Structure 1
Amino acid sequence: MTVTPTPDPAVLRAAMVASLREQDLLHSERVADALATVPRHAFAPRESDLAKVYDTHTTLEPVLFADGSQSSVVSATHIQAIQLEMADVQPGMRVLEIGSGGYNAALIAEVVGPTGAVTTVDIDAGVVERARACLTATGYDRVNVVLADAQYGVPEYAPYDRIIVTVGAADVPQAWLEQLTDTGRIVVPLRFSGITRMIAFDRTGQTLTADNYRLGGFVPMQGDGASAEQLVPITADLGLYVDPQYDVDFDVPALRAALSSAPVDLWAGTPFDMPDELAMFQLTNGGSGMVMLHAAQKAVDEGVVEPAVRHGIPVLVQGGNFAYRIKRESEKFASGYEAGVRAHGPQAQQVGEQMLALVRDWGTDHFRRGAARIVYYPAGTDVTGLAGWRSVKRHGILAISWS
């Protein structure tokens, strides 16, 4: 009988770090050393496969507690590496982590070192209890583990040089800004217009500014800071996700009829690449009719919509007409694809051309990463004369402009 040897976690950690370097996700030696040191498997469910635990793109499933509740998930290490790099945590800093699981707090504790301080907070008692136990068992009992609604931060350990949010947030609460140092940074997966972007906000007086942002998906925040997006179903397999502030009525029967009509395809003559950047540009430049279209796999399999809609895509809706971006193979562009638009409805050509103009604008003038400048203005800030796209949040205004 052949016995398969148990993999050495230290070897797996080293391979994980090497993989992250190959993906160009690690630039800080402090972050790399932390990832190579903290035993990720100690924060995973006991029955977890070690190879999966140390795979850079595997999210660790929650632990099921005896009362039927679950622990929080532990994000894939490539997401954690991106967040830590964006945060630029330095030795000696005071850091607040919002959304606890234990592992990420241990990584931060390694980076800040013995002269720094880490506080991690979660609204779920089971999550907090397990995080505290795992941190203690792995030698990171110096981390402050707090049970509270993170909407209000953790004032008793403030101020913080960094606030790292590991749950999807609908807003930037006033408490976070109040507990941030004058030169502090907040890294937050912020939800707006039906998408989430990890944004590294730097404090500039009473505002937050950023030009460093990345794609990322997170479990939504609970408690008083929970999001309240609406789903407008078009069919059983297709729907529109809209912000709570969105007050336009959709002609659902007309959109359903348009869906069954022959589409009009238009081509931009510009490259298709970086769909996350294009989506953000469309949503912040397309006006009130631009929302997110989502489809179930069945709608994709039946050819009702293109595969990209399965994960959500911006759609321009006008009355009983709608248009969304598509692509086709093309040797003219380095990406191998040309961008285009598919439109449905009685005025498909007109609506399609409006969407096509946006696609061309981005592909011609903003075809790069980091072209957006993001500013968050807390409630009460004078925004007289503020131009461009904005989203009115509960605690302030999010504004995005493009260079």
Structure 2
Amino acid sequence: MSTTTDTPPEILRARMVERILAGQRLAPAVEAVLRHVERHRYVPDAPIGDAYNEQAVITHTAPDGTHLSCASGPMIVAAMLDALQVQPGQNVLEVGAGTGYNAALLASLTGVAGQVTTLDINADVTAAARRNLDDTGYHHVRVITRDGAEGAAEHGPYDRIIVTVGAWDIPRTWWDQLVPGGRLVLPLRWRGTTRAVAFTKRDDYWESDWVFLCGFVPMIGQPGEHSNTIDPERLVTLHYDTDQPTDVDALQGVLDRERIEVWSDATVGGEEPFDRIWLRLTATDDRTIRIQAEQQAVTSSLCTPAIPVRSPALVEGGSLAYLTIRRSDGQPGRWQLGATGHGPDGEQLATRIADEITAWDTDRTADPRMVAYPTGTTPPADLLGKVIVKPEIRLYLTYKQP
């Protein structure tokens, strides 16, 4: 598809905003800044059509091909900005400078009486962000080269903190530098999935009121996840958190063992999302991880996850099960959801996934209540929910009982 265009950027920008509004509501102030700030001027090396399409634009890449920084897709930018609820005159910290575009949006929202500070660990990224912000008139935005986990206490405290890199944990520094009642919006990763989450700082805990599926370049310096292949050809990889006792040696060759399929009654159309099945698994089962299958593994039927590059799985000892999908008999255009298991406990694990598919099917838009207690604070003894322990927080996820 060609990305060249003769359409003026203001028309492309208006179309971008209308496309966003077709999928989500935005506060009038957020809509206004999206219409005003010239996104294409923050990705000057990209075709102008790419700047306003619903896609991330990679701006910095490591020698090994790893993406270090990008301009995130407009829809997730708008969603996180809306969830942040920035008000004029506020002091805002951004972790992950990117191209400077998000900082420009924040500066437009805070106005002349507000302050915006953006951080990035990569000096090339901050240099580009500084240049872009200066070229577009946002000279007053502070751009600092620093590990984002440290924050910037010298310019705090902050009314709002937004994180635009994938975070596996929530550093205590962000808690200390945010005012009581302030909001933190970040892409938080647990059990292999990433969700943009909006937290409000309460007396001694974070409380979430918004969750949104997303994907971000991971934050440097938070090695909270392991990855290992489980087949001789290295076509299938498991991704799991450091607190999960996953025995990858016992799982070697498990996909060559008998395949057991367990199917639910739930079906989806081609465009219907089912990512909240994964979210439910993380809130109910500590064995939830991510499975990734290369196309060769799918083509050969070695491993057929519902979404090959990222699907939920359960592991127990030398057994494995993962979410899968097949065309629905008698329902053209629809797909049936189920699970495939291998190993001694493969059927049990597959049935466990099928049970969560059924629970999801009763309320497909339900999200869990999420609270996070910084390490060193004491949660109430009667606090319910699945607990996920990280070095700097304990994350609690709870679904309302039907």
Which of 356, 359, 362 matches 1:361? Answer: 359
Conserved? CA contact 1:271–1:333, under 8 Å: no
Deviations 1:108-166 (A, max 9, x none): 11112212211111111121122111101100111111121111111122121111100
Contact 2:289–2:314, Cα closer than 8 Å, also in 1:
yes
DSSP-derived class of the 2:275 partner: helix
Look up the equivalent residue of 1:96 and give its one-letter code: L
Partner of 2:101: 103
Q: Are 1:59 and 2:70 counterparts? A: no
1:216 equivalent in alignment to 2:245: no
| Among candidates 228, 232, 236, match of residue 224 of structure 2 | 228
Contact 1:34-1:110 within 8 A present in 2 as well:
yes
User: What is the distance in 1 between the residues matched to 2:330 and 2:127?
Assistant: 56
Identity %: 35
Secondary structure of the residue aligned to 2:168 is coil
With the length of structure 1 as denominator, give the TM-score of the two structures: 0.89
Question: Relative to structure 1, is the Cα distance of residues 265 and 249 closer, same or farther in structure 2, using a 3 angstrom cutoff?
Answer: closer
Provide the rounded CA distance (Å) in 2 between the counterparts of 1:160 and 1:72: 24
Moved more, 162-171 or 278-287: 278-287
1:75 counterpart = 2:69: no
CA distance in 1, matches of 2:252, 2:68: 40
1:205 shift after superposition: 1.1
Contact 1:20 1:78 in 2 (8 A): yes
The equivalent of 1:92 in structure 2 is 89
How has the CA–CA distance of structure 1 residues 362 and 5 changed in structure 2, closer, same or farther, with 3 Å as cutoff?
A: closer
Q: 1:172 to 1:332 in 2, by over 3 A?
A: farther
Count the aligned residue pairs: 388
Q: Deviations over 1:191-226 (max 9, x none)?
A: 111211100001111210113101111111124xx2
Instruction: Supply the AA of the counterpart residue of 1:75.
Output: S
Cα distance in 1 for partners of 2:203, 2:359 equals 33
- Establish whether residue 286 from structure 1 lines up as the match of residue 285 from structure 2: yes
Structure 2 residue aligned with 1:38: 37
* Change in 2 beyond 3 A, CA 1:122/1:379: same
1:302 aligns with 2:308: no
Q: Does structure 2 retain, via aligned residues, the 8 Å contact 1:99–1:166?
A: yes
Kindly indicate whether the alpha-carbon contact (under 8 Å) linking 1:161 and 1:185 is maintained by their aligned counterparts in 2.
Answer: yes
Q: CA 1:333/1:394 → structure 2, altered by over 3 Å: closer, same or farther?
A: farther
1:361-389 deviation per Cα after TM superposition (whole angstroms, max 9, x unaligned): 3333xx23243011110111112344431
SS of residue in 1 equivalent to 2:35: helix
Structure-2 separation of matches of 1:118 and 1:335: 48
Assess, with a 3 A threshold, how the Cα gap between structure 1 residues 290 and 202 changes in structure 2: closer, same or farther: same
> Which stretch of the first structure deviates more once superposed, 70-79 or 102-111?
70-79
Kindly state the Cα deviation for residue 301 of structure 1 after the two structures are TM-superposed: 2.2
Unaligned runs of 5+ residues in structure 1 are: none
The match for 1:170 among 142, 158, 168 is 168
Give the aligned residue type for 1:9. P
Note closer, same or farther for the CA distance 1:318–1:50 as it changes in structure 2 (3 Å cut).
Answer: same
Native 8 Å contact 2:58 2:67 kept in 1? no
RMSD between aligned residues: 2.6
Give the match for residue 397 of structure 1: 394
Corresponding residue to 1:148 among 129, 139, 146: 146
Take 1:137 and 1:5, find their aligned partners in 2: how far apart are those partners?
23
Partner of 1:350: 348
The change in CA–CA distance for 1:251 and 1:329 in structure 2 (over 3 A counts) is: same
- TM-score, length-scaled by structure 2: 0.89
Q: Which amino acid aligns with 2:352?
A: Q
2:86 match: secondary structure:
coil
Deviations 1:221-241 (A, max 9, x none): 124xx2331112201011211
Distance in 2, matches of 1:358 and 1:26, equals 29
Matched, 1:265 2:261: yes
SS of 2:71's partner is coil
Name the amino acid aligned to 1:79: I
For 2:115, give the aligned amino acid.
Answer: A
The separation in 1 between residues aligned to 2:124 and 2:331, in whole angstroms, is 51
Distance 2:345 2:8 in 1: 62
